[in-house]
Amino acid sequence: MKSYLPPLLISLTLALSGCSTLSNLVEKPESEWTVADYYQRLKEAYDNEQWEQVTQYGEKLLAYYPYGKEAEQAYLYLAYAYYKWDEPQSAMRTLNEFIRLYPKHRALPWAYYLRARAAEKVVASWFDRWLTDPARRSAEALKEALTYYKAVVEKFPHSPYAEIARTKVIVFYNRLARHEFHVAQFYFKKGAYLAAANRVQELLKNYPRAIITPDAINLMAAAFDRLGMDVQAEHARTVLIAQFQKQVQRPPRQTLEQRRKLRQLEHKPPTPRSLRWSSTENP
């Protein structure tokens, strides 16, 4: 009888400890997961930079538990995961929803900035540095990126993202002007000289400080030449170029320090000290 006492004590100890010990050894089916279960898996995937899993758990958490602090943070994790997973449209969709739901959140400057970066990613290509010109892409997508960067500057002028956003505003302003110039060139090459001249006039109206302005005016003058409008061509070359060249606005060259700062600003979103923090309380 004495030799059976230790196993008996072990059995009694397990019984007294309840079912929790045994239940921890068995994975719960997903149909029984609570919001805490979804958030735990979301956080683990996020910390391990498993972006595909972050998007899966994040979407499910927001679908089943759309309110509360877990959902609040899930939006930020999900948006960043989409951005890193090269799904910028999904990142923008998630950030727009977050901005609508939490207009006083402490992470709002970061959310506005990441939304602009995602919009830029839509019109970016790895070949842009050497072969391609991003100005040849969708004008609507370029305008969206410009609008989002302007929003960062206007709403959070003293945030750490404002300096980079101001530079990006100038960059996209010039890209949109270059887009109009490419369209005008297309018309000129097709022999539609009046359409080319009109397109340049629109460029001068909407983007008067663009770097491409002098080239655009020369193209307009050439179109007038082809149309036999010598007076207008001479006026463009002598008056308009002198007038608009003084207004040209160039983006500042990025230093190594600024590029390092840009990479830092793209780091992960702010994480709360606990899930009981309020979006309106002081840090």
Per-residue pLDDT tens for 176-185? 999 999 999 9
Spell out the alpha helix ranges (H) of 85-138.
Answer: 88-101, 108-122
**Confidence class for position 277, pLDDT limits 50, 70, 90:** very low
- List the domain boundaries for the chain: 33-105
Using CA atoms, how far apart are residues 192 and 178, in angstroms rounded to an integer? 19
Q: Residue 170 pLDDT more than 50?
A: yes
Q: Residue 192 pLDDT more than 80?
A: yes
- For residue 120, what are its two tokens? 């830029």
Classify domain 33-105 at the CATH topology level. Answer: 1.25.40
Using CA atoms, how far apart are residues 16 and 104, in angstroms rounded to an integer? 48
Q: What is the pLDDT of residues 15-51, one digit of tens each?
A: 544 444 444 445 678 777 899 999 999 999 999 999 9
Q: Determine whether 150 is exposed, middle or buried from the number of CB atoms within 10 Å of its CB (0-12, 13-18, 19+).
A: middle
Distance of CA 71 to the CA centre of its chain: 20
Four-residue CA torsion sign, 235, 237, 242, 248? positive
Residue 80: phi and psi, rounded to 5, are -65, -40
| Average pLDDT across the chain, whole number | 84
Q: What is the pLDDT of residues 106-116, one digit of tens each?
A: 999 999 999 99
pLDDT of residue 251: 74
